[in-house]
Structure 1
Amino acid sequence: MLIGTLTLHTGYNEGAQLQSLALQRCISDLRPGSPAEIVDHRYPRRLETGYGPATNARQRTLAAFADGLLLSPKRFYSEDRSPTFRYVSDRYDAVVVGSDEVWKIDYVSRLGGLIKLQTNPLCPPFPNVYWPEVACSKIAYAASTGSSTKWTEMPRRNRYLMAKCLNEFVAIGVRDERTREMVLWADPSLADRVTLTPDPTVTHDLTSNATHESLRVKLASWGVDFNRPRALVIAGQHELYAEATTSLRARGVQIVSVSDRNHLADIDLTEKPIDPLEWANLASQFSYCLSERMHGALFALRNRCPLICLDSRRPAIGFPTKNEALMTLMGIPSQYVCIHRKGARDNLLDMCENLGKLVHDYMKIDNRLRELAEIGRTFLDRALPAAK
């Protein structure tokens, strides 16, 4: 038996690559002897316009990591999904779509809404490869629309196509309530078939103590000072973030930025060759973590690093952002700061001035992670074809 996954495994995003790897490993654990391959479909516009060529050590490391995943023997580098579907139908017993924002859809209206275009290079036009028309069994796992999809603006024909595809899935696992709402908009009769499933990095733990010592040596060689408190910052530019880092520095904390450039960081590692598995363990080497990235926040919790989860997104159509949903799910909403909310500045600076408030109940968090992992594993075990 052979299982494929259709997911976001390329591009310069550590979290996307880690969720791809975690899902693959989880499936392989549940079906020993049945390899789980990532179907290597790459959209040229997404990679060339959205990301561009690798120009620094970080980007080259991420590109190499993506190529080193267990990929299908054949690569499809095309805007056309039909050859990929034929290949999937011939090669796999089942295909799992997910996780991450595989179901993100972006329309731009023209002429007062008479014309609707899909021009976002990071969002392949619907229907795309993540809405497969294949002969094998189809499963969705932790699929998400992201925060910007406005499904009610879809043309009527595409709503029909979405409903048709969804009805062909043997199981529909979504990462958030917002995506569940989109599924029910497409076809309300699917209510009993949609299940909330956790991100694969919750279902399968990618942290490893074996990585810590080598990572410590590498960080020290780049100037990280292990003789003083250290804050790992995974967030871009914003005046409120600047105030927070200034406050931390005034308390003797060294500021180290990764993934997203922060001009106030003492040590900038945003272009350093840190592979995703090292990135997953980074927080283990820091006293605190401030992350605007969901996976950055999640791995801080896994590494038992005191966390402030930042957010510059706004809730969409009444649904919480993925960062807010994560912190609520983990039982620590007080450590979440949305910069658009009243009192955000005072709340964030109070945390920075009183770092003792960042101590979490890690036993409770670990138990919650285990509970969620069991939900994800049970869903997949029931949905996947039985081992032959």
Structure 2
Amino acid sequence: MKIGILTFHHVDNYGATLQAFALWSFLNSQGYDVEIIDYRPLKIAWIYFRALLPIKRVKSSISETKKIRINEKSLIYISRYWKMRSFLLSHVKLSHKIFYDKKGLKFYHDKYDVVICGSDQIWCTDSFRGYNSSFFLDFVSNETTRKVSYAASFGNTTKLGTYQKEIYTLINQFQTILVRDSNSREIIANECKKKAIKVLDPTFLIKYDTLKNPPKITNKYLLLYVQADMEPEEEDFIKLVAEEQNLTIVSVGRDERLAQINFESASPKEWIGLYSEASYIVTNTYHGTIFSIIFHKPFTVLLPSDKSNKVKDLLNDFGLTNRIFSEKSKAQLFNKQIFDIDYESVSSILESKIMESKKYLIEAILQGEIDSKSKVMLDEIRKKQ
């Protein structure tokens, strides 16, 4: 059976890179011939490409020092982007053809038995990417190929608006719809009149022992992984946690003035390694939260408004909403509660959800065509539930 995955993979984001790798890796481990369709919408590819340019035009009034700073930032971006790309090239199978527009994608209208539109906010109509019907698999033949989603998300989109009619039609061509958050499930139910099942992000489905590249940091450290500016009270909290536990502040993916050590261009393996060895984690990202849970770390989530629904939904599933930063966080810090997470209880919930998510995914792929090998695997999953 041949499977194609369509997702956000042509990015410089650790979470997006690792979710694409994780979905491909899990399916590959089950013996499927699976590849990621190398689709890079030109509009988005250009946004990333512009940041890669090492020299940018600046007004003559800007000092030479400022020009050098701009150049250095671009070089850091190039380094991180290349490490992401190298990771995918060496760890997953990409389609032989690269596509930059929707027309080109039609080449694959009947080349797969199953096409999965993968995790991440691929259905978000409110992001800088805008609405793209390709991620609803409009290029895939309904006669030859099964359409499935796995952990797809509408992100912050809550109403489909002018896109409702078209999305309704496309969604109703799917054989199975698996989403990663309650908001997406409700949109599918209310605006598309279709049943969607909530599953885990694919990064939960695999292990990372062979991938992590631990950092050469001698001191215990607080890992800071943020993608947006922090409020003064959030910065104060981070400094208090570091002082309380005598931790070095380490930032990954971004140069933070709070940090004593910055890893702006860490590779995905180095990023995983930093997570695996951290003594405490502070993040304002969805996948930053996921990997805190995966590695059983004490953590605090700074909750930006643009990610609140998906992060809250994730934390609620594991009974961890108390990890969200609030005015109470400082009180929790001083009585040490902030360092205690009942990961035995979390692991019990997580293991059950992992088995359930794997089962739904395999069943969606097979759609009644269960061979002996797949039957054995599904039986093993059911026994563990």
Q: So what's the TM-score if we normalise by structure 2?
A: 0.81
Structure 1 range deviating more: 240-249 or 19-28: 240-249
CA distances 1:193-216 after superposition (whole Å, capped 9, x unpaired): 3111111112x12321x455xx33
For the 8 Å contact 2:176–2:364, the answer to whether it is kept is: yes
Equivalent position of 1:23 in the other structure: 23
Secondary structure class of the residue paired with 2:292: helix
2:80 to 32, 38, 58: 58
Establish whether residue 300 from structure 1 lines up as the match of residue 306 from structure 2: no
How far did residue 128 of structure 1 move?
3.2
For the 8 Å contact 2:254–2:263, the answer to whether it is kept is: no
How far did residue 40 of structure 1 move?
0.5
Secondary structure class of the residue paired with 1:244: helix
Distance 1:356 1:207, change over 3 A: farther
Establish whether residue 93 from structure 1 lines up as the match of residue 113 from structure 2: yes
Aligned residue type for 1:383: A
Distance 1:173 1:205, change over 3 A: same
Establish whether residue 186 from structure 1 lines up as the match of residue 178 from structure 2: no
Gaps of 5+ in 1: 107-119, 338-343
How far did residue 91 of structure 1 move?
1.7
Equivalent position of 2:97 in the other structure: 74
How far did residue 104 of structure 1 move?
0.7
CA distances 1:175-234 after superposition (whole Å, capped 9, x unpaired): 11111222234322x1xx3111111112x12321x455xx33xx22xxx333xx310111
Secondary structure class of the residue paired with 1:151: coil
CA distances 1:63-120 after superposition (whole Å, capped 9, x unpaired): 32234331011111x2x31321x222232111001111000102xxxxxxxxxxxxx6
Secondary structure class of the residue paired with 1:295: helix
2:234 to 238, 241, 255: 241
How far did residue 374 of structure 1 move?
1.1
Establish whether residue 170 from structure 1 lines up as the match of residue 175 from structure 2: yes
Equivalent position of 1:364 in the other structure: 345
How far did residue 382 of structure 1 move?
1.0
Aligned residue type for 2:362: D
For the 8 Å contact 1:254–1:266, the answer to whether it is kept is: yes
Equivalent position of 2:129 in the other structure: 123
Aligned counterparts of 2:21 and 2:182: Cα–Cα separation in 1: 24
Establish whether residue 195 from structure 1 lines up as the match of residue 197 from structure 2: yes
Aligned counterparts of 1:185 and 1:351: Cα–Cα separation in 2: 39
1:258 to 248, 252, 259: 252
Aligned counterparts of 1:284 and 1:138: Cα–Cα separation in 2: 36
Corresponding residue pairs, total: 338
Aligned counterparts of 1:25 and 1:284: Cα–Cα separation in 2: 20
Secondary structure class of the residue paired with 2:96: coil
Aligned counterparts of 1:128 and 1:3: Cα–Cα separation in 2: 16
Gaps of 5+ in 2: 53-73, 372-385
Aligned residue type for 1:381: I
CA distances 1:289-339 after superposition (whole Å, capped 9, x unpaired): 111111112112211221112211268xxxx521111111112221122xx
2:281 to 289, 304, 307: 289
For the 8 Å contact 1:43–1:124, the answer to whether it is kept is: no
Where is the helix percentage greater, Structure 1 or Structure 2? 2
1:140 to 142, 149, 166: 149
CA distances 1:120-163 after superposition (whole Å, capped 9, x unpaired): 6x41433234443311110011110111x2534x32xx322111
Establish whether residue 321 from structure 1 lines up as the match of residue 309 from structure 2: yes
Secondary structure class of the residue paired with 1:74: strand
Aligned residue type for 2:286: M
For the 8 Å contact 1:308–1:358, the answer to whether it is kept is: no
Aligned counterparts of 2:124 and 2:159: Cα–Cα separation in 1: 9
Aligned residue type for 2:140: V
Secondary structure class of the residue paired with 1:17: helix
Distance 1:283 1:129, change over 3 A: closer
Cα RMSD for the two superposed structures = 2.2
How far did residue 373 of structure 1 move?
0.8
